[in-house]
């Protein structure tokens, strides 16, 4: 099972205006209600690094944070999103690996 690293700080429900970068957005501390658009972003800070996630990666992170059931494989998680395309599945695996490698989420037994 995966969970957010307890040392990570997360903000969700962002919508970044087109002229803003994630860095400027975080620096200025702006907040927009979650408008459920493709601009929706989750911002996570861990180990002095800030990461912005949107679209598929935000969806994966949201799932991991809200899931209380044991999920053994990436394939099982992906099946919940009805991901069948090989390319999308690869993106999914890459996102999950990125989250783990950068200490944003951790695996627990």
- Indicate the range of 5-9, 11-15, 29-33 predicted with least confidence: 29-33
Which is nearest to 106 in space by CA: 55, 47, 64? Answer: 64
DSSP letter string over 6-74? TT-EEEEEEE--TT--HHHHHHHT-------STTEEEEEEETTEEEEEEHHHHHHHHHHHH--S----H
Q: What is the mean pLDDT of the chain?
A: 68
Q: What is the pTM of this model?
A: 0.59
Mean local confidence (pLDDT), 82-92? 64
Which of the residue ranges 48-57, 65-74, 87-96 would you say has the lowest mean pLDDT? 65-74
* pLDDT tens digits, one per residue of 12-26: 765 555 565 555 555
């Amino acid at each position: 099972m995966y969970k957010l690293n307890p040392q990570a700080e997360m903000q969700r429900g962002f919508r970044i205006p087109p002229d803003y970068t994630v860095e400027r957005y975080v620096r200025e501390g702006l907040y927009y209600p979650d408008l459920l658009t493709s601009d929706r972003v989750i911002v996570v800070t861990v180990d002095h690094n800030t990461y912005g996630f949107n679209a598929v990666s935000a969806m994966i992170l949201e799932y991991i944070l809200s899931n209380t059931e044991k999920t053994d494989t990436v394939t099982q998680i992906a099946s919940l999103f009805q991901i069948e395309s090989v390319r999308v599945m690869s993106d999914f695996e890459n996102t999950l690996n990125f989250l783990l490698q950068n200490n944003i989420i951790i695996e627990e037994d």
